Amino acid sequence: MQEPDPRQRTKLLKIGTRQCRYIVSDDPRRAVCCGAPTKEGSSWCDWHRRLVYAPSQAIKIRHDALGP
């Protein structure tokens, strides 16, 4: 599974239907969401849903993404 493309990021107030609402910005006053496509009925893309619901697995994914 590949991390979402940063070019899809969208300001919270402009987020559309079936876009990931996981906030990726550090400044909560300027909330920026992931913006990647989501499955119907989900607020998060597969990548961020996995980070939230499977933390131990997410650490491994992040480690693998960083390389050796």
Q: What is the pLDDT of residues 16-66, one digit of tens each?
A: 999 999 999 988 788 999 999 999 999 999 999 988 886 555 455 555 555
Residue type, 27: D
pLDDT confidence of residue 47: 94
Mean pLDDT confidence for 5-18: 94
Q: Note whether 35 and 20 are within 8 A (CB).
A: yes
Is 15's pLDDT higher than 80? yes
Q: Which token pair is 53? A: 């619901």
Regarding beta strands 10-11 and 32-33, do their DSSP bridges make them parallel or antiparallel, or are they unpaired?
A: antiparallel
Task: Report d(CA 38, CA 61) in Å as an integer.
Answer: 19
